[in-house]
Structure formats: structure tokens, C-alpha cells
Structure 1
């Protein structure tokens, strides 16, 4: 068998789900090509096991609550505190107890393509998802910190199912639901990670829409952050209706 097996055939088999017997056969094969394929396979499996372990670690808090009889745990995160334009958006996600999307992680650790893919899967599999949105005018009135808290509260209140426990990334909100504040929670809780992805993708889509309405600032590329292109657009066009007038450098030049 091993003499008839070509390197190309071995590669195809290793890309699938090889049996222990087949792996043992390959390990006894002295050809350098086969051993190189095995090394690549072992690294891939090790990486997958590490990712699985990290995911299980991000589910520890949720599992602890579930095991204690608290069925619905809501993870909350927000996005959009730093930009010069657009809203701050928050999301609350209640995950099912059999949630197994191991790639769900802090949205900042993922590519845009990966976030888009996970966004749809999270919406399909979550028990419930709530969104909160506070626009630039409200941000200017109450400040960005309070606006983020309001958006988080909106996200919780928009859920169909009321959570029995909240896990919140670095903040606390006004609610009668027990809540746990987690520093860097999007890296410590799968629920918060899922919320960070949904909030981020929602806001990205919205800023792409705004880019068509208010061209010249590069909103689809910078999401409202103060990039060189954005600042050049501001200099040429002045602020548009979604700019935050209390944020610098807009405040000093345009806010009265």
C-alpha cells in the first residue's frame, strides 16, 4: 500500500480525517515527502487543539452560571467609542449551551471576512440577540461614556428573552439584572466575544451606508475614525450630519 500511495494521494487523505491506522502507516513511511506532510498535519492539529482549548476557556464563565441553574447569560459589548463620526453600537448575545463556534473571539482579533462569516452564524445559533444604537447627537449631549452605557442598556431591553445574568465588557449599566464587569471581557467570555462581532459588523455596515450618503470622508474604509483621508475630507468639506461635534479636532474648529 505504501509503495502505491503517491504523495498527492497522501496529501488528500491528510486533509480529510485520517484514521489512526492510516496515520501510523504514514509515520512508518520513510519518504521525505510523506514526513513533511505529517509535520504539517501535526502542526495543524495542534493549532486546532489550542484554539479549542482557548474557546473552552472563554466559555468557563457561562458554563459556571449554566451549571448553577442560570440558563440565560447575556454577554454585552459595544463598538464605536473612538471615531469622529457615526453612532456607538452595542450588542447583547445569549448563547445556547451547546454553542461550538470555536473561532468566535474578540472581534479585533479577526479579519473583516472572518467577522462577516461568524456574524451570520452567531445570528443563526444564538438564543437571542439585542442591538442598541446611540447617534452622534446624543453622544454630543451626554458624552461618549454615557452613550455607550445607554446603548448597552438598549441592547438588553431589545431582547425577547430577559437574561438572568449579564457579562459586560469593562462597564456597568442601569438594570435590575445581576451583572459582572469584566476587563477585556471580549477575550474572556464567548458571549461578549459574540456580542463584539455582531456590534462591529452592524456598525461597519452602517458606516458603509453612510459613505454613500456622505462621500468624501472614506467612511467605508475608516468607519469614522480620524484617518488621514477622513481628516482631509473634513478640511475640504467640513463636518457632515453624522460627525461628533464635541470630538477633536472638530470641536475646536466647528463646535460653537
Structure 2
């Protein structure tokens, strides 16, 4: 029996050492892969293996249980929520066809969350069309203000892109070509596209049409509906 023990014992020691070595390599590889994926690696717990025979001789080998792979956690993008917003825009406007006027605008308002992808709210804005020369005459500046609705629609949970629409009432005061003051008013509608840079800031490209009724002094057909076009690029801060 002692001869059998003398033969079996070295074989068991070699097998146990090989197993421990293989499992230690597997554990190291699992740890490396988990660290590459940004996961926390739990410490491996030692497991004791005992082998005995009739002579009460015991051989113990220590191995390490393999660490189960952790599932990769998908990072969730924090979506914008309803709240106050303030924006600034600059671009070009066209009251007269083919005559560009620089436009500057500020707006502010509040939007409420309306489902997973939409926010709706109200806004007020103040804008200015700078004076310019065109068609051999001076085109005066135009200051105008507006109040209306503002809504944005995200293109999915994981998309930073969104669409935006706006509409409402606007009012303007301006000097005419004879230096006399006057005012016009009407409605506006707009649409655009934007991208969220982070939770509190985005960029927007916006087109807005301002509709108004204007008398034609040289014709006896009353007022006509006209349109001024504005194209702006701006930023918005959300709180």
C-alpha cells in the first residue's frame, strides 16, 4: 500500500499544480478583460482540494475558482428634461427679395416634458434686422418682438439630434423711407434642427417666416399678406 501511495502522491501533486496554473491564467485573463470593459472585478476565493487514502496520508492542493464574467452595463445617456431655457441667434433676414439684412435675436421661455421624446412650452423673443442698402436705396432697421409656443422632439432615446418648431404672434416698429415711424404685426411659424452638446447646452439651425399684412399705396386693392424670411444659427442654455 505504501508503494501505491508513493506512486499516486507525485501524480496527484503534478495534476493539482497543473490545474492551479491553468486556472490562475484563466483568472488573470478574465480580470484583464473585465478591466478593459470598465467593470469591477471581485476577488477569487480559494478552494481546498483534499485527497486521502487508507493510511490517512493527505495531499492538499489550492486552486482558485474562475470568476464569472460580468454582463456589460450599457451606459445610459441622460436625456434633457423640461425647464427654463435662454437662447441667442444670429443670421440673415430677407424683407425684400435678394436683399440680405443681418438679424440678431434673443429668446427665453419654459418647456414641459410631454412624453419620452417631446417637450412643449412658451417663449418670448426680441429681434433686430439691421439697416442695409439695396436696390439703390436705404432699407431701414426693424426691431420686433414675439410671443408664442415652442416645442422640441428628440429623434430617439440615444440620439442627440432633435427637431424644433415654433409659432405665435409678432409686433414690429420701424422708420419708413420718409423718416416716419410705423408699426406692423402678424403671425410667425418656424422649424429647425438641433443637436445636444450636453445636458444644458445645444446648437440650433432655425428657419422662421414672419407673416404680415401691408397696404399698397399705389394700388386700389387694399392690403396684401407679405412674408419676411429669417435663417439663424444659435445656441440654447437650459436650466
Q: Which has the higher contact order (CA 8 A, sep 6+)?
A: 1
Structure with the largest fraction of strand: 2
What TM-score, normalized to structure 1? 0.22
Which protein is bigger by CA-based radius of gyration?
2
Structure with the largest fraction of helix: 1
